[in-house]
Structure 1
Amino acid sequence: MASNLPAREGAENQEPPSAGAWGEWNPTEDSVRPIRGKHRVAKGGGGLARSSTVLGVGIIAAVGAGGIATAQDRPQVPISMPSLPGLSDDDSDKDARRADAQSAKAAAAAQDQADAGEILRTRILQQAESQHEAADVQTRIQAEQAAREAAAAEAKAKREEAEKAAEEARLAAEKQAKEAAEVAEAKAEQERVAKQAGNYSLPTSSYTITSYYGAAGSMWSSGHHTGLDFAAPTGTPVKAVGAGKITSAGWSGAYGYRIVLQLEDGTEVWYCHLSSMSVTSGQVGAGDTIGRVGATGNVTGPHLHLEVRKGGSTVDPLSWLRSKGLTP
């Protein structure tokens, strides 16, 4: 920085300049002489050089709180900064900037590390929370599944119990209906037998059945017995088994004396081996005596040979009598 003072020799013998010549004393501009040597003022960002800053601070401290002195009050004080061997202002600035850069870099690295740690911690917490939520969801799903299975099992058990109860009720109803039907059928049969018993009669009394229908033997021309034999003493009354008309009465070869009674439904009843015939024609009622037991024809002893014919063919007299409510 150039000084505004006029160059003069022998300055130590000159008088101090007047106030009009000096003006106000500006320590940062008028009193600072160029510093010789290796030190240079480094300008940066519009600020003062390091040496100028030190000079200004020192002068302000000397002036004090009373204000800035003028050149008329204070003489010029030359100030110089000591020179450090091997070190310049540029080098110091570079070192400072380098240190600042390293510090900033270290701080940035530390911040990055802190940020990375925070990110990792956040991710761990998020992962833990997510796993916890997943475990809660899985637990809830399992609980719901168990509840559904329990409800389904309970519903199945109730359904099976209801089906079993319905089946038992059905079987009980069927059994009851069957028993009722059997009772009704038995009652109807009893009524039918009683009614038929009143309309039909056994052909004789005091008898013993000695030969059944279908029995085989050489004594019968057909090779088997065609009727039912009631052995009884000669002269035992023979009765009409039902109401009907006598269509035939007389001798009939191997049958001896025979009476043929035709019932109202067309069934023919043959009375054979009779010793006598009381009625030989006309209508008769059930239980009327129509003849007597004998031993005429092809016989071995006195008995009544009873045949029952339907449509010209013989049927079992025992079954037929039972169907009419009679028990021989």
Structure 2
Amino acid sequence: MSANTWTSIVEANVRSYGNIVLGIDPYLPDVPAAFEQNNDGIDWLPRYLDFILETAVGKIGFVKFQSAYFEAYGLAGLSALSFAMKRARAAGVGVILDAKRGDIGSTAAAYARAYLTPTHAGGSGDFEADCLTVNPMMGPDTLEPFLECVRRYGKGLFVLCRTSNPSAGWLQDRMTGNRFVSDRLADLITTIGRDHALDSGLSPVGAVIGTTAPQEGKRLRDLLPNAIILAPGLGPQGGNPTALNALRGSRPEDLLVPVSRGLLRTEDRAISLSDYEMLIKERLEQLKATLAVQPILSAAG
């Protein structure tokens, strides 16, 4: 197993940089027009990623690449994703690939080989992440190939539990027997995480729980005492920073907060790259300051 396990990366990088995860969801209408200056189609994407990583490395401990945005640009998008993932990992940044994969048998094994298997063990290395989001809705057996990578290579997983989208409650808040579906998922995450936790006790199998449902989040956190929670939903989805109080556990490393459009989107496409860099840094500092006061607010409440 690699010395740089997912949990060790989380512990070290939260101490150094805090809980923010920079979400990278490249969409041309949201970025400065200066990246298109050569009018050469999607060649803007590598330049954009290089700029973002140059701006962010040394200020954040984690990045989350949303696979769909890169897939939408075809082979050039996948090539840019591979470049960015490798560069971020080489810089010591914890890389989460948000692909929400989940399937049966050999298909799940192929996904695990694509995203969580190092080259020395037969992976291509093109899209190797430190942690992957996975969808458990087809049953616990679909997680086993990914868990094998947790055991063998020290990787991490974020399992969908109670998501931030508006209709999440249609299934996740339904009762099955005398339990909510999301509660059953939390129990599953806790059980398999306990089997894979290392000496620190922090589980490499975490949960995706949105900041848009604080009441559900508090209930689920109680069921997930050692799990890292990935808490999307701040900003355009309507999540409130105070909702993070419900998702905090007993240690600083057990909550990661991804923000993408709230950090990188610009309404003014004519903005200069120097001003865009300053805008990103200012937003990042403001967000760090906002999150830093949440435990105080919780204690005061």
TM-score, structure 1 as length reference: 0.17
TM-score, structure 2 as length reference: 0.18
More helix by share: 2
